[in-house]
Amino acid sequence: MVHKFPDDFVWGTATAAYQIEGAANEDGRGESIWDRFSHIPGNVWNNQNGDVACDHYHRYKEDVQILKEMGVKGYRFSISWPRVIPDGTGKINQKGVDFYNNLIDELLRQGIQPFVTLYHWDLPQALQDRGGWTNRDTTDYFAEYAQQMFKQYGDRVKHWITHNEPWCTSFLGHAIGVHAPGLKDFSAALLAAHNVLLSHGKAVEVFRQMGLDGKIGITLNLTPSYPASNSADDLQAATISDGFSNRWFLDPVFKGQYPDDMVKVFGTFAKIPEIQESDMKLISSNIDFLGINYYSRSLVKHNPDAQFGVETLKPEGQYTDMDWEVYPQGLYDLLLRIKKDYGDIDLYITENGAAFKDVVENDQIDDIDRLNYLKKHFEKAAEAIRDGVKLKGYFVWSLMDNFEWAFGYSKRFGLIYVDYETQRRLWKKSARWYKDVIANNSVD
């Protein structure tokens, strides 16, 4: 069966600065928390780091040429805050600003729409030294950074994403500790989450005040939660899992309040952040679209001995190299749920993709698992659009293999294979297939 997409559907790919750029100590770039974190032995697989990564800083024209050949309509990338404002506030680094000017101009020359993420986890270390996201001042530094970026690029960039995955920034970085800055303090994570959301609201306010004619949104990683049975305990476990993964961010952004049930759950063992008068109004400033990063689902059951009384199960099925269940139906269910519970807002899949072990034979990479993963998820996206969801675009994670945070370069998500020894880029089977999907604007 052929799944057709709307004529103006934005097919794209996504990346992030720290994961692809390299040039970590070049042209005035300041240190980020990921430079600091990745250089501490033990934090990243094989003690790898983003010093060189995919050398995109020097190879961006080649990479844009690949995007052009792929036929993408949009390209989502992030700006490295410390590359453009090395100390996080104050002085601008013109060479850093020029890199993104050149990248944006090259994309527009090739007829590709830039979708720009302001924050994809690489906080300037200078701000971390002042408390980072646990310091409310950082929300003002973020608004200052956003204003600068709107000023520099707002004439050409028409789609802005304030934050990528606040859940990861907050909980992986401040509670679980596997991401920078590597804290293990749930109260700090809740405070960081609040300040990240508040900084989002302040950036949206600045964007509106500047009267720019683009659109602005936020990207949330969302994981639909399913109960293992219809027992009251398991249904409650799924509700708590949904609250922790999804509603803790969706409710403030769209309803201007934290979910009461989760305030009670978190409040039993952690400090709920002080919320000032205007905070929730700012956080729930009207946005033009929601970016959704979808990878998999959670299947949960009640277990009194597990955190929050929620045990995550591992059902039979196919798993990616990240050990994430392949569950395309979850994308459909999630999209319909967002429309039902949070409103009929424009949506973009700002990330979806899969890591699988790639084998190179005679410069060919027959990544049929990744191709089939994408095919199944595209089909579910088409069904959601058919059923009334205003899905406007889909960005495959990722354009190319890159630095997968604590997993280093051991996990390959790319449509394009990167040989890190030579920096050669090789088209995988999935990339050639994706080119046809875009050309036909349909999945067969």
Contact residue for ligand AZF among 35, 234, 325, 351 (CB under 6 A): 351
| Beta bridge pairs of residue 361 | 364
Rounded to an integer, what distance in angstroms lies between the CA atom of residue 173 and that of residue 170?
Answer: 5
HSE (CB half, 13 Å, CA atoms) of 438? 23
End-to-end CA distance of the chain: give it in Å, rounded. Answer: 6
Q: Is 133 annotated as a binding residue?
A: no
Instruction: Give the C-alpha separation, 16 to 12, whole Å.
Output: 14
**295 assigned to a ligand binding site:** yes
Residue 373 C-beta: closest distance to ligand AZF, Å: 13
> Are the C-beta atoms of residues 408 and 358 closer than 8 Å to each other?
no
- Pick out residues in 89-118 that bind ligand AZF (CB under 6 A): none
Say if CB 237 and CB 310 are below 8 A apart.
yes
Task: Based on the shown chain and the rule CB under 6 A, indicate whether residue 404 belongs to the binding site for ligand AZF.
Answer: yes
Residue 125 main-chain phi, psi, to 5 deg:
-60, -30
Question: Distance (Å, rounded) from C-alpha 288 to C-alpha 411?
Answer: 33
Q: What are the angstrom distances between the C-alpha of 421 and each of 216, 242, 407, 417, 425?
A: 38, 42, 18, 12, 11
Residue 353 main-chain phi, psi, to 5 deg: 175, -175
Output 143 or 331, the one with its CB closest to ligand AZF. 331
Q: How far is CA 281 from the centre of its chain?
A: 24
Mask for 405-424, x = binds ligand AZF (CB under 6 A): --------x-----------
Joined together, the tokens standing for residue 338 give 């967002």
Whether 361 is catalytic is no
Out of 3, 10, 12, 16, name the contact with ligand AZF by CB under 6 A: 16
Number of residues in contact with ligand AZF under rule CB under 6 A: 8
User: Binding site annotation covers 19?
Assistant: yes
Taking CB under 6 A as the rule, does residue 358 contact ligand AZF?
Answer: no
Q: How far is the CB of 284 from ligand AZF (least distance, A)?
A: 24
Based on CB atoms, which residue is closest to ligand AZF, 369 or 404?
Answer: 404
Query: Is 163 labelled a binding residue?
Result: no
Q: Are strands 391-397 and 10-14 parallel, antiparallel or unpaired?
A: parallel
Calpha distance 416→399 (Å, rounded)? 6
Query: For residues 138 and 329, what is the distance between their CA atoms, to the nearest angstrom?
Result: 38
Closer residue to ligand AZF (CB): 17 or 431: 17
Range 282-311, binding ligand AZF (CB under 6 A)? 293
Residue 122, interface with ligand AZF (CB under 6 A)? no
Is 383 annotated in a binding site? The answer is no
Whole-angstrom distance, CA of residue 397 vs CA of residue 410: 16
Active-site residue flag, 351? yes
* Strand partners of residue 164: 219
- In the region spanning residues 370 to 389, those forming contacts with ligand AZF, defined by CB under 6 A, are none
**What order do you get walking across the sheet with 310-312 strand by strand?**
225-227, 298-302, 310-312
Cα(57)–Cα(108) distance, rounded to whole angstroms?
18
165 belongs to the binding site for ligand AZF (CB under 6 A): yes
**C-beta of 77 vs 258, nearer to ligand AZF:** 77
Kindly write out the interface string for residues 18-47 of this chain, putting x where it contacts ligand AZF by CB under 6 A and - elsewhere: -x----------------------------
Of the pair 97, 381, the CB lying nearest ligand AZF is at 381
Q: Kindly tell me which residue out of 57, 133, 248, 397 binds ligand AZF, with binding defined by CB under 6 A.
A: 397
**Token pair 């708590």 in the structure block, residue:** 240
Task: Check whether 21 is labelled as a binding-site residue.
Answer: no
Query: At closest approach, how far in Å is the CB of 351 from ligand AZF?
Result: 5
Nearer to ligand AZF, 195 or 350 (CB): 350
Pick the catalytic residue from 165, 311, 325, 379.
165
Residue 404 marked in a binding site:
yes
Binding residue positions for substrate? 19, 120, 164, 295, 397, 404-405
Which residues are designated catalytic?
Answer: 165, 351
Instruction: List residues near ligand AZF by CB under 6 A.
Output: 16, 19, 165, 293, 351, 397, 404, 413
Binding residue positions? 19, 120, 164, 295, 397, 404-405
